[in-house]
Amino acid sequence: MIPDLEQTFRWFGPNDPVTLQAIKQTGATGIVSALHHVPCGNVWSIEEIEIRKETIEKAGFRWSVVESVNIHESIKIGLPERDTYIDNYKQTLENLAACGITTVCYNFMPVLDWTRTHLDYRLSNGASALRYHAPALAAFDLYILQREGALTDFSADEQLAARQYLDSLTQPDIELLTNTILAGLPGTDEVFTIPEFKVYLEKYAQVNQQTLKENLAYFLQHIIPVAEETGIRMCIHPDDPPIPVLGLPRVVCTEQDLVDVVNAYPSPSNGITLCTGSLGANALNDIPGIIERIGAHIHFLHLRNVRRELDGSFYEDEHLTGSTDMYAVMKAVVNEQIKRKSTGRSDLSIPMRPDHGHKILDDYNYDTYPGYSVIGRLKGLAELRGLELGVKRSL
């Protein structure tokens, strides 16, 4: 018997409009959470971790995964103070392990976390989805942010499409687009202003793709030994979208990038979060193939779908109907579980979450974090659960 994947749901903590009681009804048994109120770079104290853990357990869940312990910008930029922040990070890992929480997701995206241009893109059935519209991003970059050097990042056709898009916007549309693109980390209400964002861009002026990769390797070489000692499994989340955005380098976009992460410090504690939504925005990423080849390193699964459009745009589609063949993905995941079983590994029940969901039905009555509606995610989770059951029963 191959055990089921562990069904999890992200919960942003006591301020999340989606309650643990509501999540209970989705059928999820695990919670994915983080101490969003602790400023990035500070140590998470045992006391604070215990409080969150107790809240989650009292509601009848396990705190399955931490997503994320965010990485201080000085580590990504490679500043001298990075060593202090790496020490803090190690301490946080030791504290989490002391509380019995051992799967830790993180990402290595400069400044911004995921990037979208529209948070309320209406589909024909009335559902609301997140969208990345390439001409809108280009219009922002070229004409609103007016980033130095942006011109060279876009072809003549792309510049024209961006200009036409900009001309269709009203002033309030421009403000909405700006606030959408410059939204900060998930779980915070922080939105960068254009001048603040430009200061960050300045800090990254010397950081290209290669330096960022080296800085990631440096981080791993210092963190993973501590993760190993304490039994923590680190799992990096791919960049979303998996392309350089606003002139900032990105280094976790492709299979080769993931292989480079794993090779930077080979260890069972140095793994990946396989996010089909993020990787799936690039048609060149063969996700079932990635699972087949490097699935041994997966510690956490985000199973959502995107619908790719011709110009590099995409929107978040229903979990089973986007551009990624979710059936093929699930089959590859089940095969990975079978491989693990045959090699005597105990981590067969990989934690999985539906990641994001559409806003549907009663979701419109709650002001949840973008993409983190309850009914939309419940629908995604239920579809994935059915798919998993079908794949397993047909074996």
Q: How many CB atoms lie within 10 A of CB 362?
A: 10
Catalytic residue among 302, 315, 317, 369: 302
Catalytic residue among 133, 237, 299, 319: 237
Contact of 282 with 323, CB cutoff 8 Å: no
- Asked if 68 interacts with ligand CS2 (CB under 6 A), we say yes
- Asked if 354 interacts with ligand CS2 (CB under 6 A), we say no
Q: CA 52, CA 156: separation in Å to the nearest integer? A: 51
Residue 377 interacts with which of ligand CS2, Mn ion, none, CB < 5 to 8 Å by class: none
- Asked if 299 interacts with ligand CS2 (CB under 6 A), we say no
Read off φ and ψ for residue 30, nearest 5 degrees.
-120, 150
355 is catalytic: yes
- Asked if 302 interacts with ligand CS2 (CB under 6 A), we say yes
3-state helix, strand, coil in the chain (%, to 5): 45, 15, 40
204 is catalytic: no
- Asked if 8 interacts with ligand CS2 (CB under 6 A), we say no
- Asked if 318 interacts with ligand CS2 (CB under 6 A), we say no
Residue 316 interacts with which of ligand CS2, Mn ion, none, CB < 5 to 8 Å by class: none
Q: CA 370, CA 316: separation in Å to the nearest integer? A: 12
Contact of 227 with 265, CB cutoff 8 Å: no
Contact of 199 with 145, CB cutoff 8 Å: no
Read off φ and ψ for residue 4, nearest 5 degrees.
-70, 160
The angle formed by the CA atoms of residues 388, 390 and 395, to the nearest 5 degrees, is 100
302 is catalytic: yes
- Asked if 351 interacts with ligand CS2 (CB under 6 A), we say no
Residue 68 interacts with which of Mn ion, ligand CS2, none, CB < 5 to 8 Å by class: ligand CS2
Q: What is the DSSP letter of 280?
A: T
Which lies closer to Mn ion via its Cβ, residue 109 or residue 248?
109
Which lies closer to Mn ion via its Cβ, residue 150 or residue 352?
352
- Asked if 113 interacts with ligand CS2 (CB under 6 A), we say yes
Which lies closer to ligand CS2 via its Cβ, residue 166 or residue 275?
275
Question: Which residue among 6, 16, 141, 240 contacts ligand CS2 (CB under 6 A)?
Answer: 240
